[in-house]
Amino acid sequence: MSFLHPSRTESREAQALPQINLLTPQAAIPGGTFEVLGSHLVLQTNDGPQMPHASFGNLPATLNFVRPTRAIVQVPEGAISSDLTLKFDEQDPDSASNALYANIGVPMAEDLHLVSNPCIDGEGNLYAMVSGSRGQRVSISIYRIERDLQIRPFVRDLLNISALAVGPDGNLYASSRAEGVVFRITPSGSITTFAEGMGTATGLAFDRTGNLFVGDRSGTLFKISPSGEIFVFATLEPSVAAYHLCFREDGVLLVTAPTTSSQQVIHAIDPDGNAGVFYTGLGRPQGMAFDEHGNLYVSASLHGQRGIVRISPDKEAELIVSGNDLVGLCFLEDGCVALASSNTLFHVDLGINGRSLL
Same domain, 94 and 141: no
Is position 125 within any domain?
Answer: yes
Is position 356 within any domain?
Answer: no
pTM of this prediction?
0.92
Same domain, 144 and 87: no
Q: Where among 83, 102, 121 does a domain terminate?
A: 102
Same domain, 199 and 339: yes
- Tell me the residue length of the chain: 358
| Domain CATH for 338 | 2.130.10.10
Number of domains within the chain:
2
CA angle 210/310/338 to nearest 5° reads 65
Same domain, 88 and 135: no
DSSP secondary structure string, 257-287?
---S-SSEEEEEE-TTS-EEEEEEEEBS---
Is position 2 within any domain?
Answer: no
Tens-of-pLDDT digits for all 358 residues of the chain? 343 444 444 444 456 899 999 999 999 999 999 999 999 999 888 777 888 999 999 999 999 999 999 999 999 999 999 999 999 988 887 889 999 999 999 999 999 999 999 999 999 999 999 998 888 889 999 999 998 889 999 999 999 999 999 999 999 999 999 999 999 999 999 999 999 988 889 999 999 999 999 998 888 999 999 989 999 999 988 666 668 999 999 999 999 988 767 789 999 999 999 999 999 999 999 999 999 999 999 999 999 999 999 999 999 999 999 999 999 999 998 999 999 999 999 999 999 999 976 5
Distances (CA, A) of 77 to 28, 56, 80, 110: 12, 11, 9, 13
Q: Are 33 and 72 in contact (CB under 8 A)?
A: yes
Same domain, 133 and 260: yes
Q: Are 30 and 324 in contact (CB under 8 A)?
A: no
Same domain, 94 and 140: no
Distances (CA, A) of 305 to 282, 320, 345: 10, 11, 20
What are residue 324's phi and psi, to 5 degrees?
Answer: -75, -20
Q: Which residues, listed in sequence order, are joined to residue 109 by a DSSP beta bridge?
A: 345
| Domain CATH for 61 | 2.60.40.10
Same domain, 199 and 335: yes
Same domain, 218 and 338: yes
Is position 281 within any domain?
Answer: yes
Q: Which residues, listed in sequence order, are joined to residue 24 by a DSSP beta bridge?
A: 35
Q: Which residue in 329, 326, 323 sits closest to 126, CA to CA?
A: 329
Q: Are 155 and 174 in contact (CB under 8 A)?
A: yes
Same domain, 307 and 180: yes
DSSP secondary structure string, 292-309?
TTS-EEEEEEETTEEEEE
Is position 26 within any domain?
Answer: yes
What are residue 301's phi and psi, to 5 degrees?
Answer: -105, 135
Is position 358 within any domain?
Answer: no
Domain enclosing residue 317, as ranges: 107-349
C-alpha R_g of the chain: 23
Same domain, 255 and 314: yes
Same domain, 80 and 197: no
Q: Where among 102, 119, 141 does a domain terminate?
A: 102
DSSP secondary structure string, 143-209?
EEE-TT--EEEEE-S-B-EEEEEE-TTS-EEEEETTTTEEEEE-TT--EEEEE---SSEEEEEE-TT
Is position 354 within any domain?
Answer: no
Same domain, 67 and 156: no
